Chain A
Amino acid sequence: AQTVTQSQPEMSVQEAETVTLSCTYDTSESDYYLFWYKQPPSRQMILVIRQEAYKQQNATENRFSVNFQKAAKSFSLKISDSQLGDAAMYFCALPSGGSNFGNEKLTFGTGTRLTIIP
């Protein structure tokens, strides 16, 4: 069975600073995707960034980037120049089925609540 672990229930960062959220996982797949989702107080689940395991280059989306360490099964999210709108719960997620298209049941971590200090 797949597992996803987020060991930081809460984090806080000063506005404009950088923060890193950690995630470790376990899977028997050799190729797979990993996701970070953001859940603001509105309760929406918003995809922040996606990493494909076969790609050695870390994914980047504007101020969001990942540090993907496949051998260590680590997938951390770095948020640069933190903004008030970044305040949210952040979930790491691992889909079943590897990198194949089709049904993908998501396994989520327990989440990290990020607070931005003005």
Chain B
Amino acid sequence: DAGITQSPRHKVTETGTPVTLRCHQTENHRYMYWYRQDPGHGLRLIHYSYGVKDTDKGEVSDGYSVSRSKTEDFLLTLESATSSQTSVYFCATLDGNSNQPQHFGDGTRLSIL
């Protein structure tokens, strides 16, 4: 939907390793978001971007960093993955110039052993 591609779709890694998740969009939307989904918590905002090189923290940003060097790409990095970061990660985009809602990618399932 809205040309959002998340990669990888699934990843298993070990505690302490760095992990980068990629969100790529083809809609030229200004705003991009990273959420994590955990049982009993719904989706929670990690970081968001309101333009190239413009990012800000969300509700659960500790242990995560992001970068947006191009409009179409928004990267989420776990510098040193921990088991508590095992989750499903969703990217979303928003035009911001109309009343259209956020569009979501298909999610990345990340398991940290």
Residues in chain A within 8 A of chain B (CB atoms): 4, 6, 33, 35, 42-45, 47, 50, 91, 93, 95, 101-111
Report if B99 contacts A (CB, 8 A): yes
With A47-B101, A101-B99 given, can you name 4 additional A-B contacts, CB distance below 8 Å?
A44-B106, A91-B43, A106-B102, A109-B42
Could you tell me the distance in whole angstroms from the C-beta of B27 to the nearest C-beta in chain A? 15
**Bound Cα distance from A105 to B61, whole angstroms:** 14
> For the complex, would chain A's binding face be called helix, strand, loop or mixed by DSSP majority?
loop
> Are the C-beta atoms of B107 and A43 separated by less than 8 Å?
yes
Is there an interface contact between A104 and B99, defined as CB atoms closer than 8 Å?
no
In the assembled complex, B8 has its CB within 8 A of some CB on chain A:
no
Question: CA of A107 to CA of B33 in the docked complex: distance in angstroms?
Answer: 12
Which one of A43, A91, A101, A109 has the highest number of Cβ atoms from chain B below 10 Å of its Cβ?
A: A43
Selected from B42, B50, B90, B98, the residue in CB contact (under 8 A) with A101 is: B98
List the interface of chain B (C-beta within 8 A of A): 1, 31, 33, 35, 40-45, 48, 50, 58, 88, 90, 92, 94, 96-99, 101-102, 104, 106-107
Interfacial chain A residues near B90, Cβ < 8 Å:
45
A102 and B102 alpha carbons, distance in the complex (Å)? 11
Q: Is the CB of B106 within 8 A of A106?
A: no
How far, in angstroms, from A111 to B44 measured CA to CA in the complex? Answer: 12
A33 and B58 alpha carbons, distance in the complex (Å) = 20
Q: A43-B106, A43-B107, A44-B106 are in contact. Are A104 and B42 (CB under 8 A)?
A: no
Known: A43-B107, A44-B1, A106-B102. A101 touches B43 (CB 8 A): no
Q: Which of B40, B43, B99 has the most CB of A within 10 A?
A: B43
Name the one of A35, A43, A102 contacting B101, with C-beta atoms under 8 angstroms: A35
In contact, B104 and A110 (Cβ under 8 angstroms): no
In the bound complex, what is the Cα–Cα distance between A105 and B92 (angstroms)?
A: 10
Measured CA separation A95–B40 after assembly (Å): 20
Point out the residues of chain A lying under 8 angstroms from B99, CB to CB. 33, 101
In the bound complex, residues from chain A placing their C-beta under 8 Å from that of B44 are 108
What separation, in Å, do the CA atoms of A49 and B35 have in the docked complex?
Answer: 21
Q: Can you name the residue of chain B whose Cβ is closest to the Cβ of A42?
A: B106
